[in-house]
Amino acid sequence: MPITYEEGMKYALRLISFKDYPKKLLLRKLMGKGFEPTLAERVTSELVEKGYLDEKKQIVRVWEKLKANCNSGRKAFLYNLKREEYDIESIKLAESLYSEEEEASLANDVFKKICRKLTKSNIDQAKQKQRIYSFLMRKGFSQETIRGLIKEYEKDKGDI
Do 152 and 110 share a structural domain? yes
Do 122 and 95 share a structural domain? no
Please give the tally of structural domains in the chain. 3
CATH number of the domain at 23, please.
1.10.10
What's the rounded Cα separation, in Å, for the pair 15 and 7?
Answer: 12
What's the rounded Cα separation, in Å, for the pair 136 and 73?
Answer: 8
Q: Which residues contact 120 (CB under 8 A, 6 or more apart)?
A: none
pLDDT tens for each residue of 2-48: 788 899 899 999 999 998 899 999 999 999 999 999 999 999 999 99
Do 150 and 107 share a structural domain? yes
Do 137 and 105 share a structural domain? yes
pLDDT tens for each residue of 78-120: 888 888 888 888 888 888 888 888 888 888 888 888 888 877 7
Do 89 and 116 share a structural domain? no
What's the rounded Cα separation, in Å, for the pair 69 and 113?
Answer: 12
Stretch (H or E) spanning 79: helix 74-83
Do 151 and 139 share a structural domain? yes
pTM for this predicted structure: 0.71
What's the rounded Cα separation, in Å, for the pair 65 and 68?
Answer: 5
User: How far lies 141's CA from each of 49, 103, 112, 135, in Å?
Assistant: 36, 7, 14, 9
Residue numbers of the domain that contains 43? 5-50
